[in-house]
Amino acid sequence: MNTDRTTANVKIPAAAAKIEFSRMAQSCYVASAPMADVLFDQLEYLVAHSGRDCPPECLECGRLERVKHWLLLPFRKSSIV
């Protein structure tokens, strides 16, 4: 056994390297969160942000107003009959 070699110089057989790469690729995958969870997290963040003293051009407050518009749209009276 030669202890002078560094691990970078160690040769891995192609088949073993392919299996190792396959195992690493599977363990590196992170499943995405359910869309409803992401939406509720974003809504919670925006509602928590709304209590702050922000300048009139605050982007987060603008996002909250757009979200409120879309969420409340079904409950508004429609001018189209």
pLDDT above 80 (res 76): yes
So where are the chain's domains? 35-75
3 state DSSP class of 6: coil
Dist CA 1 CA 35 (whole Å):
54
| Structure confidence by residue, pLDDT tens digits, 7-64 | 555 565 666 656 666 666 566 678 889 999 999 999 999 888 877 788 888 899 899 9
